[in-house]
Amino acid sequence: MLKFFTINTDAELVCFLIALICLIKDKAIIWRCMIWFLALTISVEMVGIYLKKPYLDYVKKLENAQKLHIHLNIDPVHSNIWIYNILLVFQAVFISLMFKDLLKKHTNSKPLIVTGLVVLCVLYIYEVTIHGIFEKHNITTIAMSVMFIIYSLYCYYCLLKEDAYHNLSIFAPFWLVTGILFFYFGRIASLLFFQILETYDPKVVITYPIYSTLIIILYGCWSYSFICRRWLMKRSEI
C-alpha cells in the first residue's frame, strides 16, 4: 500500500490549508498565487510517491535477477526524479517573483530577478542536454539555492536599512524569507556534502530526517507568515 501521507506531505498539506484560509482574499496577487503553488507542490509529491513504487519494484527485480544470474527482458522503469525536475521550474519562477514583490518597496529588483532566471534557464537546458530529465538537476538546484540565499540576505539588508519600524515577530515577509533562507541553506549544504553522507549505511537514514526537518522549518515559517499577514500585521504594512 502506498504511503501518501508522510512528514513532508503532511507539512505541505497543513501549509496549504492555512494559506487557503489566510490568503484566499488577499489583495496581492502574488500572495494569493501561493495557494496554487502549494497545491501544485502537493500534487507533485503525491504523483512522485505513486511513481516511486513501480521503480522500486523494477530495481528489486533487477537485483534478484543479478543474484540468480538471470537476464530479464523487461522494459526499464524510470525513477520519479523527472517530475521533481519539472517542479523545479515552477519553484524557480514563483519564488523569484515572490522576491521581486518583496523587494519592490526598496529597489528595482527586476534586473536582478531576470538575470537570475536566465542563468537558471541556461543551467537547466545544459543539464537536460547532458543527462536528460530522468536524473536530478543538481547544478540547477545548487545554483537556485545559492540565488535564493542571496535574495534572502538582501531582503534582510533592505529591512535593516528601512526607516520604518516593523515588529519582526509578526511581520509576514520576514517569516516567509526566513523559511526560504533556512530551507535552501540546509538544502545546499546537504547537496554539497552528499558524498560524505553516502558513507553512512543506509544513506536514507541520514538524508531523509535532514530533508524532513528542513521541510518542517520551511512550511512552519510560511504558515506563520500567512497567519501574520491575515490577522496580525497592520493593514498599512500589507
User: What confidence tens digit (pLDDT) does each residue in 1-49 have?
Assistant: 457 788 889 999 999 999 999 999 999 999 999 999 999 999 999 998 8
21/223 Cα distance (integer angstroms): 11
Greater confidence (67 vs 134) lies with 134
Q: What's the whole-model pTM score? A: 0.89
Residue 69 Ramachandran class (φ > 0 left, ψ -120 to 50 alpha, else beta): left
Give the N- to C-terminal CA distance of the chain in Å, as an integer.
Answer: 45
User: What confidence tens digit (pLDDT) does each residue in 158-195 have?
Assistant: 999 988 888 999 999 999 999 999 999 998 888 777 65
Please name which of 120, 98, 109 lies closest in space to residue 175, comparing C-alpha atoms.
98
Greater confidence (164 vs 130) lies with 130
Helices (H) and strands (E) in the chain, counts: 8, 0
Helix/strand/coil (H, E, C) string of 38-90?
HHHHHHHHHHHHHHHHHHHHHHHHHHHHHHCCCCCCCCCCCCCHHHHHHHHHH
